[in-house]
Amino acid sequence: MRNFIPKISYFWLTMLLSLYFTCVVNLPVLLHFYQILHALSAYKIGFALSIPVVLFAALNFVFTPFTFKPLLKPFFIVLLLISAIAAYAQLVFHVIFDRGMIENIAETQQSEASSYLNASVVTWFVLTGLLPALLLLKVPVVYNQTVLKRLGVRVLSMLVSLALIGGVATLYYKDYASVGRNNRTLNLEILPTNYLYSGFQYINHKYLSTPLPYEKVGTDAKLVQKAGEKPTLMFLVIGETGRAQNQSFNGYDKPTNSFTQKTPDMVFFNHVSSCGTATAVSVPCMFSDMKRVDFNNERAHRSDSFLDILQRAGVAVYWKDNDEGCKGVCDRVPNVTIDTKKDGKFCDGETCYDAALLENLDDKIVDDGKNKLIGLHLIGSHGPTYYQRYPDSFRFFMPDCERSDIENCSHEQLVNTYDNTVRYTDYVLTQVIAKAKQYQDKYNVVMIYLSDHGESLGEDGLYLHGTPYSVAPPQQTHVPMMFWLSPQYAAAQGISLSCLQTEAAKNDYSQDNLFHTVLDAMDVKTTAIDPTLDIFKSCRTAQ
């Protein structure tokens, strides 16, 4: 077969690879660029025509150092395979491969990753990645010049590329600068430099940098319970991919909160912002004493979460996970992740419905007089396989989208499927409350629910989540938060429920509030608490 494939010199192969990456692999960024230009009232034709030329020259400059014989084929075969997947993600979901996204990918579990596989992505991968890689593997590459001459050709090719870029910059610098200032993610959309650079950042940060020393937080924490008062039992429910605008509590015109809206003493917070747009950032952030504006994920992983502080103060803490792990916040407290292959009632071997979290909890709530916190991490509305997050009996909004290639569903189907996940989460919350009520004779019980981040459902062409926070739409950062306080808990804590409901409707909150609110709500006193971030403080009638 090799004899039927014509030979090609390393120089022209580099040109062809640069052209292929410009026109095929980088189709998403070209389409985005021209979409931006189309929205302008006027632009220069020469500027528009120069865009693929500059991209080609830049790629040729970057690729040329990797065209030495031992490196060329292995390097570009790997690049073609990875870039095909990345291009699909950018084209269909508008994913941006910054360091945060690389971190999300690195921490994704196998079951979650498999949910992204479908016929569309496989076809794209075969046509744009696998077949070009096989062709490159088979093609005979000619190196028919001396070593010095080949080196000179490479240097000259790179210099010509720089000159071409410089010439275009001379003519259209203002145009590129204007578009770049107003569209700051464009530089993170160019393949393969985006994921290579971000991947290097992640590896350097994760594995090559000297770890920070572990920092204990709230070392003065003490549990202060009123004499003769029942201990507190809190269910802390961390949601997944919940967006506030799809909550009927928040004015949404579909009954997604039909269960909790019938539950007395519910408090819904209308204006809550997340710390990040992905679980890997939001969960460590909301459990940390750091605020979003100064959050450092490395420091969060090397310091106490409020679960550590609670446990050190004498609160019994237990964490149960049905998502992609607790991202380090539960590592030092008793914890368990549901085994999807063991529970036949709620699990199918690949994923579990969130009702599975309530199974076998009673042995963790013994009557020993201690304050207790039970953390439940939902899989909630995790996409793209939204239809796998609720049982058939909860297919309430129809028609829904029973597939993972959500771009091939109608917008109505997609939103209906997502809304079914919201409604099922709402049901699970009422089951958590029902479980809490079973212990009211021994404990003052309370439930807090807060989602980690939101989700895009096709608005402005965006899907899923993980967009850099600085440019993320509100659908990814505006999250639901609900409190349920039993009358006994509210009375014991001196909290006015009507005051809390009024404050929740009008005030702005964020995940920064959780650390301080939970510690105080569990009767733990420490100088690590910032009273201005304690949600309950302004509604306490007795201090």
pLDDT of residue 1 exceeding 50:
no
pLDDT for position 73: 96
- Strand 456-457 to 508-510 pairing: unpaired
Q: pLDDT tens-digit profile of 278-297?
A: 999 999 999 999 999 999 99
Q: What is the pLDDT of residue 116?
A: 75
Query: pLDDT (tens digit, 9 = 90+) per residue, 252-281?
Result: 999 999 999 999 999 999 999 999 999 999
CA pair distance 322, 338, nearest whole angstrom: 6
Angstrom CA distances, 81 to 28, 122, 285, stand at 16, 12, 34
Q: What is the 3-state secondary structure (H, E, C) of 297-317?
A: HHHHHCECCHHHHHHHHCCEE
Dump pLDDT digits (tens) for 104-134. 777 776 666 677 788 889 999 999 999 999 9
> Regarding predicted confidence, which is higher, 101 or 13?
13
Identify the CA nearest to 33 among candidates 63, 53, 15, 62.
53
* Number of helices and strands in the chain (H, E): 18, 15
Looking at this protein, which amino acid is placed at residue 180? G
∠ Cα 495 372 222 (to 5°): 75
- Domains parsed from the chain with CATH numbers: 2-207 (no CATH), 233-374+430-539 (3.40.720.10)
Strands of 338-388 (E only): list them.
Answer: 372-377
For residue 299, the tally of other CB atoms under 10 A from its CB is: 15
- Report whether 398 contacts 420 (CB < 8 A): no
Residue length of the chain: 543
Please give the average per-residue pLDDT across 172-176, as a whole number.
Answer: 88
Q: Report yes or no: 287 and 329 within 8 Å, Cβ to Cβ.
A: yes
Per residue in 197-222, pLDDT (tens digit) is: 989 888 887 888 888 899 999 999 99
Tell me the per-residue pLDDT of 448-465, one tens digit each, with 9 for 90 and over.
Answer: 999 999 999 999 888 999
- Between these two residues, 407 and 402, which has the higher pLDDT value? 402
Please give the DSSP secondary-structure letter assigned to residue 276.
-
**Structure tokens given for 143:** 């190196």
Report the b/e string of 31-43 with b at 16+ CB within 10 A: ebbeeebeeeeeb
Nearest of 32, 38, 21, 182 to residue 92 by alpha carbon = 32
- In tens, the pLDDT along 61-87 reads 999 999 999 999 999 999 999 999 999
d(CA 125, CA 186): 23
Cβ atoms of 310 and 323 within 8 Å: the answer is: no
CA distance linking residue 471 with residue 338, whole number of Å: 35
Nearest to 66 by CA among 157, 129, 5, 188: 157
Matching residue, tokens 């026109």 = 23
Of 364, 284, 282, give the one whose Cα is nearest residue 320. 364
- DSSP E strands in 228-326: the ranges are 232-239, 266-269, 271-273, 316-321
Q: Is 163 helix (H, G, I), strand (E, B) or coil?
A: helix
User: CA-based angle 112:114:116, to the nearest 5?
Assistant: 90
What angle, 0 to 180 degrees and rounded to 10, lies between the N-to-C axes of helices 45-63 and 147-182?
Answer: 140
Please check whether residue 186 is in contact with residue 29, taking contact to mean a CB–CB distance below 8 angstroms: yes
In whole angstroms, what is the distance from residue 338 CA to residue 343 CA?
A: 8
Q: With b meaning 16 or more CB within 10 Å and e meaning fewer, what string describes 465-475?
A: bbbbbeebeeb
- Residue among 351, 347, 371 nearest 359 (CA): 347
Hunting for tokens 């994923």 — which residue is that?
Answer: 351
**Prediction pTM value:** 0.85
List beta partners, residue 540. Answer: 495
**CA atoms of 170 and 458, how far apart (whole Å):** 38
Residue 134: closest CA among 126, 144, 142: 126
